[in-house]
Amino acid sequence: MPSSAVRRIEYDDERGTMSVWFEPDGHRYDYFDVPQDIYWAFNTAGSKGRFFNTRIRDQFEFVEVRERSK
């Protein structure tokens, strides 16, 4: 479902890392040790912004990923 807060979500099964790109600027954050069921629920949530704020923010360690300029 499209979101005004979240541009894209990816999940790495092997590492349990969820990458989230936010609107409007596309900044990426990696969240660690995220259970796969949380990823699936987030990915299918009717309101990704609300789900993020209640189930992900302040629940998992994270880093901002800076993309290198070419």
pLDDT tens digit string along 1-48? 567 889 999 999 999 999 999 988 889 999 999 999 999 999 999 999
- How many structural domains compose the chain? 1
Residue 46 counted as domain residue: yes
Residue 21 counted as domain residue: yes
Residue 1 counted as domain residue: no
Confidence (pTM): 0.87
Looking at per-residue confidence, does 62 or 5 come out higher? 62
Predicted pLDDT of residue 44:
94
27 and 13 Cβ atoms separated by less than 8 Å: no
Predicted pLDDT of residue 15:
95
pLDDT range class, residue 58, cuts 50, 70, 90:
very high
